[in-house]
Amino acid sequence: MAEYRITRHPILSIPERKEVTFFWQGQKITACEGETIASALFASGIRVFGHHHRDGSPQGLFCANGQCSQCMVLAGGMPVKACMELVKPGLDVQPLEGLPSLPEDDAPAPAQPVREIETPVLIIGGGPAGLSAAVELGKRGVPAILIDDKHRLGGKLVLQTHRFFGSSQAVYAGTRGIDIATRLEKEARQYECVQFWTNSTALAVFSDHKVGVLKDGMEYMLVRPQALLVASGAREKFLPFKGNTLPGVYGAGAFQTLVNRDLVRPAERLFIIGGGNVGLIAGYHALQAGIQVVGLAEALPECGGYKVHRDKLARMGVPIYTSHTILSANGTDFVESVTIAQVDERFQPIPGTEKSFACDCVLIAVGLDPVDEFFHKAVEFGLPAFAAGDAEEIAEASAAIFSGKIKGLEIARHLGYTDEPIPPEWQVTGQVLKSKPGQVSAETPPSERTGVVPVFHCTQEIPCDPCSTLCPKNLISLSTVDIRSLPRFIGTANSCGGCERCLAGCPGLAITLVDYRRDPDMPLVAIPYEFTRESIAEKDRVLLLDTHGTPLGQAEVVAVHSVKRNDRTLVVLVRVPADYATKVAGLQIQPPEVTQPLDEVVDHLADDTVVCRCERVTAKEIRKLIRAGCRDINEIKAVTRAGMGACGSKTCSSLIKRLFREEGVPLSEVREGTRRPLFVEVPLGVFAGMQDQEE
């Protein structure tokens, strides 16, 4: 079988891992110790994990986060989620064909008493917000328990290999997400009053102010906090389109989990739907992992993410189709192509504008919804509750760090451990970090043609200041009032020494240096480069692009080197004519033929789109009920089973509401569906206290 493991990466180290073997349909598969069944199967090129009981449709990985059931398999005869279950030596794994059959057992299990504990503070979520809150509580001696359902703390930070924006002083701007996770965890763990429960999941908040927790994935227990902080992050939104459940259609989080955590390439050719920061960053991560990015489609006239993220993809050769939407993902058992079309001002596809592209992965990155169920339930029951990070408001991770910091102090004040006021400057910084991308200015290259000149290709107001802190001569200036201002070079023609620290440390890779000292007519241009050292060499011919991805000309690589005290960013030197030296913003990473559309448009064979993935309920079925007068989501549930599946309606609830809106029904007339009390499924034996027994 083909190997899809990542063996070289420009940012991530490739650890030595012990190999283990297990069996898939009787065939021996080599895995790495400690990885999930899903990752091991993907590493061997296996994408289809079974077929749905309703219509026989192929099932595969979707969320990689344990919140759906698309990757269900039979392991040792038991149905398990392949993305959460670790490989064990000799394990027999079979695809799930239809509904699983549980082993018969007539003997009732004797129920054991449930352990209960109390704590001043319970934090749900060990991402940037939860860890920052734990630090503030720890500083003030407030006992707290932080629970997180992963084996490692840091939340989505552990999947982020790029440098972060924001304030260098307040939120580690200029540091890679993977390293921020390590720093936050180290700082939080120094406080003995804070306990950390990894591999532990919050299941429900109850009316008696107790929180059900699955500790260590084995023991069910009840925790009664005096205050609850919900810092559980966000989940990805989804889109209804033809073929949206084919294996190969993933959320960005699942894709980044496979690539940046598990070091597995889940695709060869990727197409991205959604031009927010999540989609733009995932595209960059794909390129770094050696995956071709065929294109990106965004329904709005402009990408909603930071312009520097968009420009970074464009100048590496990725086409960006604004005012376009996806029509279908095409294929039989897995994605083979994608079809997109231009949209009008009402976001309706324009006939005749369809284009199809060969790809084996469609990455969906169309926004996030807060995971705030626990917060709202706690408020309903009168338990003092706080929300931080994306559970409070969707924003960047830097904003989540500061949000957790503020909420940690608020909770300490609420419980009487301190009377410190929230510093006004904290509130100001918090709001700045949450701000949306601001005004875009025209790029104005410097006119000087002497000495060394830094060129700033960032022209959008966003919260970011690392460049001003990196210059050893303090020659880069930002407004002292607002870090969302654009950087300015305040030196003279010969004051920059060309140390390249600003270039190598810019989170957006949006600074180049033009060196006129040796030859004013053919200056050297220094370009930041975050790909493997083996991918480029002296005397290579490269195509240079401007900020928008427009070709400027070819040049020979003069040198490739790293910057002293820099963090894994290389610098590529090329010599170019002075006429366009200041326009050079990057170099093309992938050949243009990768991004060409197919000669003919591909039509998907399905006649409708799936809204409820778990129960495979289509938009057609739900629209029929709405048109018949149904205004109760519980009625839709009873008739179609939409929302009754393993994900607990986490994916389909927003899509069902969208169908009501599309049918002209105000949501004020729609009765909400009843959510099941448990956040994820738990084996019944756990509730009976059978965790010490073999099940």
User: Three-state SS across 47-64?
Assistant: CCCEECCCCCCEECCCCC
What pLDDT is attached to residue 695? Answer: 41
DSSP state of 193: T
d(CA 158, CA 411): 26
Contact 72, 94 (CB under 8 A): no
Residue 332's CB is within 10 A of a number of other CB atoms, namely: 9
Element at 121 (helix H, strand E): strand 115-124
Q: What is the pTM for the complete model shown?
A: 0.92
Contact status, residue 406 vs residue 430, Cβ threshold 8 Å? yes
pLDDT value at residue 606: 53
Residues with Cβ within 8 Å of residue 576, at least 6 apart in sequence:
522, 523, 525, 544, 552, 553, 555, 584
Select from 414, 449, 410 the least CA-distant residue to 427.
Answer: 410
Structure tokens at 5: 């493991």
pLDDT, residue 107, reads 73
421 token code pair: 């006021």
For residues 197, 198, 202 and 207, what is the CA-based torsion angle, rounded to 10 degrees?
Answer: 0
Strand 320-322 versus strand 292-298 pairing type: parallel
- Residue 605 pLDDT: 52
Helix axes 177-189, 397-414, angle to 10 degrees: 20
- The DSSP symbol for 261 reads I
pLDDT of residue 693: 46
Q: What is the radius of gyration, based on Cα positions, of the chain?
A: 26
d(CA 609, CA 362): 15
416-to-72, 140, 230, 358 alpha-carbon distances in Å: 47, 10, 20, 60
The count of C-alpha atoms lying within 13 angstroms of the C-alpha of 304, restricted to the half-sphere facing its C-beta, is 19
Sequential DSSP letters for 399-444: HHHHHHHHHHHHHHHHTTS--PPPPHHHHHHHHHHHPPP--B----
Over residues 131-158, the pLDDT tens digits come to: 999 999 999 999 999 999 998 999 999 9
Q: Which ranges in 60-175 belong to alpha helices (H)?
A: 128-139, 168-171
In the chain the domains, ranked by start, together with CATH numbers, are: 1-100 (3.10.20.440), 115-234+370-434 (3.50.50.60), 260-366 (3.50.50.60), 452-595 (no CATH), 609-695 (1.10.10.1100)
**DSSP sequence for 19-40:** EEEEEETTEEEEEETT-BHHHH
Classify the C-alpha dihedral 25-31-33-36 as positive or negative.
negative
Distance CA 198, CA 217 (A): 9
DSSP per-residue string spanning 548-586: TS-EEEEEEEEEEEE-TT--S-EEEEEE--TTTGGG--E
List the chain residues with pLDDT less than 50: 1-2, 693-695
Amino acid at 529: Y
On the 0-12 / 13-18 / 19+ scale of CB atoms within 10 A, 393 is middle
